[in-house]
Amino acid sequence: MKNTKFNKWLFIIIGGIVFHVFSFTCLYDFLIPDPCYYHSHEMNYIMSLFFTAYPGSNGHPEPNLINFIVSFLIGSYVGFVIFKKFAKK
């Protein structure tokens, strides 16, 4: 694969999107196996940073903006590392 700006940004964006989808599906189910648990229990500090439980979601934790940003940044970094590994100079 050629080392072009387009390929670099393509890997960064695809990495961010893939990790974002992974975070909102698999990782969410792993971290919160029973969303109804939070009807009667408070979320700890770390959970409350990345998830919000508001009345519109019936008290179920949902990913918030910080979760979106962190997921996209981690995925973008992973995409950049993969690009650097496979890019030819």
Nearest-5° Cα angle at 31, 26 to 33? 85
SS3 52: strand
Give this prediction's pTM.
0.84
34-61 pLDDT tens trace: 988 988 888 999 999 999 988 888 889 9
Length of the chain: 89
pLDDT of 88 strictly over 80: no
Report H helices in 1-89: 5-22, 28-31, 45-50, 65-86
